[in-house]
Structure 1
Amino acid sequence: MLSLTLPWTPGPARPAARPAVVMASEFRVRRLWHVPGFLRQSLEVRRQTRRAPGALGIALRTAPFRRTFWVLSGWTDREALDAFVRSPAHRRAMTALRPTMASSLFTDWEADPTAAPDWAGAADRLAAQRR
């Protein structure tokens, strides 16, 4: 299976004494020809996240021939995550991508703010959401 992974890249925020909020997302696009556009938008959202207040970091994984993308991001707190999700740039990207989406799945949890989240833990949490 062909896949692409952009590793954990730190954001501008520094870990605090309290637990971080980690969000894992899984997106599946309707058609194979939607993959390049979704990848472009994903890279743009990744770039925005790397500059967003409260962002601890972000990683991206995709399986293009499965038409599936995963995002793992860390935030200093729930407020920082919610502010990013409501930001005009993120809302524009999500609005533009909505017609291409077959499915999306989200989960979040509190974690050690000094450790980068791992894909295996994120996959387990996303699988639990499917049940």
Structure 2
Amino acid sequence: MRSSSWTPVGPAVTPSAVLTLVGVRLRLRAGADAGPVVSWADRLRAELDRTPDLTGYALRFTGGSLWVVSAWSRRTSLAAFERGALHTAAQRELRPLLRPPVVVVWRAAPADPPPSWEEVRRRLCAAGERTRTRLGNR
């Protein structure tokens, strides 16, 4: 899988809309093969390109982690994608290969530029630190 820059999807949304952005970091467990993660990421990318109310996304695989960021104009469409057959199958198959995911959600205006990888990484690292603190550094 090659990393992708921001990929716009779907029609433009009204300037008064509020987008829901989702950042996800999926880290491989020690010794796990990255092949299935890369394969599923490519399949899910094709699904994302057809998903309603998704305004854009980017994926990046580096350092044993798959980083994903997406922007949605409707949370119901985000929830439908998460519950969809392909995403559910990917979760089921990849769960043994991955550490628990780190997920962060924030809001942005359609006029805001797409988030940089630096911003996504900062948000996810902060969320991961909060999770480790809350769980007692398991």
Query: Do both proteins adopt the same fold according to a TM-score greater than 0.5, normalized to the shorter chain?
Result: yes
Larger CA Rg, structure 1 vs 2:
2
Of all paired residues, the percent bearing the same amino acid is 27
Deviations 1:10-30, CA, capped at 9 Å, x for gaps: 112422331101100000112
Structure 2: which 5+ runs fail to align? 130-138
Match of 1:117 among 97, 108, 115: 115
Q: Which residue of 2 aligns with 1:7?
A: 5
Q: Does 2:61 align with 1:86?
A: no
- 2:78 partner SS: helix
How many residues were matched structurally? Answer: 126
Deviates more, 1:99-108 or 1:4-13: 4-13
Structure with the largest fraction of strand? 1
Q: What do you get for the CA RMSD once the two structures are aligned?
A: 1.6
Q: Which residue of 1 aligns with 2:132?
A: none
TM-score (structure 2 length as normaliser): 0.83
Structure 1: which 5+ runs fail to align? none
Q: Does 2:70 align with 1:52?
A: no
- 2:51 partner SS: coil
Q: Which residue of 2 aligns with 1:22?
A: 21
TM-score (structure 1 length as normaliser): 0.87
Matches within 5 A, 1:25-104: 25-63=24-62, 66-104=63-101
Match of 1:128 among 107, 126, 129: 126
